[in-house]
Amino acid sequence: MNPSEMEGSRSYDAVVVGSGPNGLAAAVKLAQAGLSVAVFESRVTVGGGTSTAELTLPGFRHDVFSAVHPLAVASPFLRTLPLAEHGLEWIHSPAPLAHPLDDGTAILLERSVEATARNLERDARSYKKLVEPLVGHWDDLAADMLRPLSFPSRPLLFSRFGLRAIRSASGLAETAFAGPRARALFAGLGAHSIMPLDRLGSAAIGLVMCVTAHAVGWPIAKGGSQRIAEALAAYLRTLKAEVVTGAAIGSVQKLPKARIILLDVTPRQLLQMVQGFPDEYRRKLERYRYGPGAFKVEWALNGPIPWRAADCQRAATVHLGGTLQEIVKAESGIWRDKHAEKPFVFLTQQSLFDPTRAPEGKHMAGAYCHVPNGSNVDMTAAIEAQVERFAPGFRDRILKTNKMPPAELERLNANCIGGDIAGGIQNLRRLMQTSLRGSPYVTPVAGIYVCSSSTPPGAGVHGMCGYHAAVAALRQLS
Ligand SMILES: Cc1cc2nc3c(=O)[nH]c(=O)nc-3n(C[C@H](O)[C@H](O)[C@H](O)COP(=O)(O)OP(=O)(O)OC[C@H]3O[C@@H](n4cnc5c(N)ncnc54)[C@H](O)[C@@H]3O)c2cc1C
């Protein structure tokens, strides 16, 4: 359906633009409340950041964006939905994460705290002390964390987390741990914050990644991340909602009539799509800061990656970057417009655990590193050198490579501005600004709401931005 066909077509209680996990979660919440809902997605498939495609060779199914989903299984909203009935199956690798080192060993982040601690030699006790109390209360923590900042329901527990989370990832790693293994492991986890690791607040995501590995695991979706979106869309259709793909919305004026409109877009697109914002709000949107971009590579392989540390084959996710010092250096340079010679690499090897991802006997893997926003530098050789460093002979297994620089990520998903995978910088300042001044989902134009990962609780496949935006919209309707 093109926009001109939509004008004058039927009307809805609610229209959602964008079918990322947040758009779909918002639509589900609204449809569950009995509203008539339509979702309009510019791409031919639903899913936004949860998308799978044969990017290299036929039969090799690559996750185009998100690959590993601790926050989806931890999500207080997604957990309530019957997604398994609509085809979603989670696969857990035996260990969530491996982090190889140059001495030929790997640190394994295991499902069990005890087993992980055993990997960390003299830091075993410190690791348990840091992590165990949080793992035991993850459900309570998740409920407070995966929503806009507000007074926590479990203040003591939350302050235990918050006092550590507010620190820098490198500061926390260096004071909590004495040895290089635990420090390197935590630095790699902290790098998911997409912040310089010596910046206050960068420990928060590191802690969340660490605790979720034990509490809920880091699963991949059988068949690819696209299955998450397909299951959400299938459930949504059972609630009588409509999902329209191939419908790029340039302006909200072009949408069918609706009482409320929820936009799964970032501030830059919001400015283009909605006229009539007051100057102050418009300036706020113009000042909104995007974070570094990502450079992503996918490979079709003629065998599994030949890790020097064989334990790396037990984990779907592998962090490549060596020591804490190296990771800190690689991640901080990006904020000064530098490309790391030895980038910190987030690698996933789904086909080791999900045979549907590659033809028999063959394998696929994907990896990305952070780069300055909008970078044009080809990081393929640097990423492959990091894999080769820990898996000599890796390059010989490559059948085909697919490169996705920031511009390609943005072409495939308009929300990846300059290759930013998080919908904006995820720092403490933004968290405070978006959360303490009224609802971050409500715009000054009546009936128009934002529901993307540019709103709290931010990036990740959890659908909680969409859920909270829908709740805010329903509150204003009633
Ligand atoms: C390379 C990469 C790797 C990632 N890895 C992980 C991971 O392993 N685990 C994890 O949890 N998260 C990961 N993420 C983050 C995660 O994918 C996002 O945080 C999440 O998808 C955000 O969901 P969303 O609904 O806010 O937006 P998106 O998923 O970005 O969806 C937005 C949707 O809106 C559509 N749209 C935008 N503008 C318009 C318009 N004008 N008209 C119609 N449709 C429009 C887009 O086409 C898109 O489908 C990754 C992201 C990227 C880019």
pLDDT averaged over consecutive 10-residue blocks of the chain (478 residues)? Answer: 58 98 98 98 97 98 98 97 98 98 98 97 96 92 83 83 92 97 98 95 95 98 98 98 97 97 96 94 92 98 98 98 98 94 98 98 98 98 98 98 98 97 79 63 95 95 97 93
- The whole-number pLDDT of residue 160 equals 84
- The whole-number pLDDT of residue 426 equals 77
- For ligand 1, residues with CB inside 6 Å are 17-23, 40-43, 48-50, 65-69, 71, 248-249, 264-265, 269, 294, 296, 368, 409, 413-416, 421, 423, 452-453, 459-461, 465
- The whole-number pLDDT of residue 155 equals 85
- The whole-number pLDDT of residue 6 equals 58
| pLDDT tens-place string over residues 209-232 | 999 999 999 999 999 999 999 999
- The whole-number pLDDT of residue 204 equals 93
User: Which pTM value belongs to this model?
Assistant: 0.96
Answer for the pair 29, 470: CB distance below 8 angstroms, yes or no.
Answer: yes
CA of 413 to the centre of ligand 1 (A): 7
**Nearest-angstrom CA–CA distance, 352 and 313:** 7
- The whole-number pLDDT of residue 148 equals 81
